[in-house]
Amino acid sequence: MSRTKARPGREVVLALQDLRVGYGEPVCAPVTVDVARGEALCLVGANGAGKSTVLRAVAGLLEPLGGSVQLHGQAVDERSVRFRREVACVFDEDAWFAELSVAEHLELVARGHGVRDVVEVVDAELEAQRLTDAADQLPTSLSSGQKRRLLLAAALVRPRSVLLLDEPEQRLDPTGREALADRLVAERDAGTALVLATHDVVLLRRLATRAVVVDDERCRVVDAEEAARIVSDPVR
């Protein structure tokens, strides 16, 4: 088993202590782990194991059944100014303003988070997500993969020290998955703390510093290679 604590000397950003999550009843065993700047913690496990539920609790979108989630030593509150300033999330939820274009959505997010040179930043993110040609389209007109890349763009166009992602590889083609891995590795190396649920073995091996195997009997912390073996052979 790998360590539940971040490496010594690293600033702990997120701390999950005996976190129990579910909807009335627990969906998985309690989770205890720290995440520091420059770390990427992957949540792995079978479909329905509770990975997304854990992420929603970390994001402050779901009240835990027990235990705690702390951001810089304070209880997570998704309504707080600090949380909104530091934590960016990508969940599989399309929530768009019907009358705003792709570019206008990203400009709204960037301005709302105090980004300077909004147009320049948005144009760069549109190019990075291969959405430049769709900049003037409405999100509802996009393909499934384009919508996923727009969700990623909305998280990446704003400042963040923590990035929470629920299976970000879903609906992406091979080129998109490779670009995603490149971008998330760069985020990690720049000091962002990442927590993500994933079934992508390549992404795991490239990105993860540690992983949590989410299970109803025991959630355990393992290294990236062990997590990749589990994802490759879930009945192992």
Domain that holds residue 50: 12-232
Percent of the chain with pLDDT over 70: 95
- Is 199 a domain residue? yes
Query: Any bridge partners for residue 87, and if so which?
Result: 162
In a domain, 100, yes or no: yes
Cα(100)–Cα(106) distance, integer angstroms: 10
The answer as to whether 6 is a domain residue is no
Q: What domain count does the chain have? A: 1
For 67: left if phi > 0, alpha if psi spans -120 to 50, otherwise beta; the answer is left
CB atoms within 10 A of CB 199: 18
Q: What is the layout of strands, in order, in the sheet containing 162-166?
A: 87-90, 162-166, 193-197, 40-44, 210-213, 220-222
Provide the whole-model pTM.
Answer: 0.92
pLDDT for 1 equals: 46
In a domain, 144, yes or no: yes
Whole-angstrom CA distances from 161 to 4, 58, 164, 186 are 20, 14, 10, 13
Does 138 have pLDDT greater than 80?
Answer: yes
In a domain, 75, yes or no: yes
3 state DSSP class of 43: strand
Position 33 in a domain: yes
Structural domain includes residue 7: no
184: buried, middle or exposed (CB in 10 Å: 19+, 13-18, 0-12)? buried
CATH code of 158's domain = 3.40.50.300
pLDDT digits (tens, 9 = 90+) for 22-32: 998 999 999 99
Q: What is the pLDDT of residues 17-65, one digit of tens each?
A: 999 999 989 999 999 999 999 999 999 998 888 999 999 999 999 999 9
Distant-in-sequence, close-in-space partners of 174: CB < 8 Å, separation ≥ 6: none
Q: Is residue 142 part of a domain?
A: yes
Q: Which of 205, 206, 208 is nearest to 196 (CA)?
A: 208
Q: What is the DSSP string of 105-133?
A: HHHHHHHHTT-SSHHHHHHHHHHHTT-GG
